[in-house]
Amino acid sequence: MKIDELYKITKQNRFNIKDSELAVYIYGYSHAISDEFKTEIWISKSKAKDIVIETGLYCEEQEFNVMKAAIKFAETPLGERGNYED
């Protein structure tokens, strides 16, 4: 999966995405803006298949869609991920 696709899916599901030098960070809330409803995902930019997912009390369709996309992106070899172009 290309980074552009990951950005598109996160935005469609009302999640936020930040691209840093070391990782792609995705976060969002399922219900209220509270840590118990927050989902956070970190994907390494230096190693394929390196991902951390933390989720709150609920996992609704939005979280599920973003998690699936994040896992697919993490599985993609680094050279095939591309660069984000707005």
SS3 76: coil
The pLDDT value given to residue 60:
83
- Give the pLDDT of residue 32: 66
Helices (H), 1-86: 3-12, 61-75
Measured distance CA(68)–CA(57) in Å, rounded:
18
Element (DSSP H or E) covering residue 14: none
Angle between helices 61-75 and 3-12 (to 10 degrees): 170
Residue-by-residue pLDDT tens, the chain, 86 positions: 999 999 999 999 999 999 988 999 999 987 667 677 789 999 999 999 999 999 877 778 889 999 999 999 999 999 999 876 54
The torsion angles phi and psi of 70, rounded to 5 degrees, stand at -65, -40
Q: Per DSSP, what are the bridge partners of residue 43?
A: 24, 51
